[in-house]
Amino acid sequence: MSSATHQKQNPAFYALLVLLVFMAIGPVLLMLANSFKLDVDIISGATGLIFLPTIQNYETALCDIIWYEPDHLDFCALKFGGSFINSIIIALFSTALTLVIGCMAAYALVRFRFMGRDTVSISTLLVRMAPPAVLLVPVFGLWNNEFCIDKNTMVGEWIRDTFGGRGDVCLAGTHSGIIIIYVAMNLPFVIWILQSFIVQVPRPLEEAARVDGAGPFQVFFLVVLPLIKPGLAAAAIFTFRVAWNEYLLASALSDRDTKTVPILIVNNMSEFNVEWGVIMATGMLLAVPPIIFTLLASRQIITGMTAGAVKG
């Protein structure tokens, strides 16, 4: 539709739009502004919108990974930087794994008739239904007590000698423990989204590759994967977002060295004395990747979101 056909709208309509946009992004902008303010400015509030922006809060938050020593800090108490790196490792690895495993499964379900499609659609809903709080109990028990390597076995001894630690080596407290549960949580949804993209890949294209002598794996990697890139992007964003934002399971399964940023934010919120500026800066650091994704790929995100409800 060309711009000439856009209807003329009531001014009240535009006023409503402005109000809606303001309500949607106002809180985010407010947090952004506060993350550049000193605590005195936040608390006095007198300065309002006029203030001298400072990156002190960000320096405090990231003090353990920046290469210089900020002037205003005597020593680095809040080690947000380390958990920031944990967050990145966990989110990236679980996204990559989910995508690889998920698109293989989706392809099998679409192209090979050996299992019902219904199983996937039902399990998608089942997993969507199960709140992380429900997974918390069994996973907490299993990861802490059952999925362990005994310290007296050879492998256990080797792991203990190489990586340190005293007792049995358990899945709890490791990056892998958190990554596995995120992969499992996201898989059904990713399989669901990718199926609807793979169905659209023209079959003759695959058959032509077959005739030329390509095996099923070559067809998959060289023909199918390049064609479903938009689907992969949507799936990647959703998976990354869950892994990046999740708090509950991460807090139950991580230890001092593997905790992610959401855990640190919650821990510091419950302290009696809230350092608003630093908390807001950390919040912004956590919010920025999803915001960038949204701005870059909103079309894909909306497609992914509607794939489940509108087309399903």
Partner 1 sequence: MKTAAINRLAPYVFIAPAAVTMLIALVYPLGYMIYGSFRSWDPSQKLGETEFIGLGNYIQLANDPAFLESLGVTLKFALVVVSIEMLLGVGLALLLDRSIRGMSVLRTLFILPMMIAPVVVGLMWRYMYHPTVGTFNRSLKAVGLDGVDWLGEYALMSVIIADIWQWTPFIFILSLAALQSLPQSALEASRIDGASPWQQIIHIKLPLMMPVLIVTCLLRLIDAFKVLEVILVMTEGGPGLSTEIMALRISRTATEFRELGVAAAMSNYLLMMLMLLTVGMFAFTRWQELRAARQRKMIEEEA
- Residues from 150 through 179 that contact partner 1 (CB under 8 A): none
Three-state secondary structure call for residue 124: helix
What is the spatial distance between Cα 209 and Cα 163, in angstroms, rounded to a whole number?
Answer: 47
Taking CB under 8 A as the criterion, the residue among 61, 78, 183, 234 binding partner 1 is: 183
According to CB under 8 A, which residues from 84 to 143 bind partner 1? 100-102, 104-105, 107-109, 112, 114-115, 123, 125, 127-142
The footprint of partner 1 on residues 198-237 (CB under 8 A) is 215-217, 220
Closer to partner 1 by Cβ: residue 54 or 123? 123
- Residue whose CB is less far from partner 1, 69 or 150: 150
Least Å distance, CB 74 to partner 1, is 26
Note whether 276 and 43 are within 8 A (CB): yes
Among 9, 153, 176, 200, binds partner 1 (CB under 8 A): 9
**Would you say 63 or 243 has its CB closer to partner 1?**
243
Give the nearest distance from C-beta 256 to partner 1 in angstroms: 16
**Cα radius of gyration (the chain):** 24
Smallest separation (angstroms) from partner 1 to the CB of 198: 11
| Residue 173 vs residues 9, 148, 259: alpha-carbon distances, Å | 57, 11, 8
Q: Which residues in the 48-67 window bind partner 1 by CB under 8 A?
A: none
Q: 234-293: which residues touch partner 1 (CB under 8 A)?
A: 241, 244-245, 247-248, 252, 262, 265-266, 269-270, 276, 279-280, 283, 286-287, 290-291, 293
Greatest pairwise CA separation for the chain in angstroms = 77
Which residue among 144, 157, 160, 230 contacts partner 1 (CB under 8 A)? 144
- Would you call 169 helix, strand, or coil by DSSP? strand
Q: Among the residues of the chain, which ranges form H helices?
A: 11-35, 39-44, 56-61, 80-111, 117-129, 132-141, 154-163, 175-198, 203-211, 216-218, 225-227, 229-245, 248-253, 261-269, 276-306
Q: Are 191 and 109 in contact (CB under 8 A)?
A: yes
- In the complex, the smallest distance separating the C-beta of residue 153 from partner 1, rounded to whole angstroms, is 17
Residues near partner 1 (CB under 8 A), total: 98
Site for partner 1 in 15-34 (CB under 8 A): 16-17, 20-21, 23-25, 27-28, 30-31, 34
Q: How many CB atoms lie within 10 A of CB 16?
A: 12
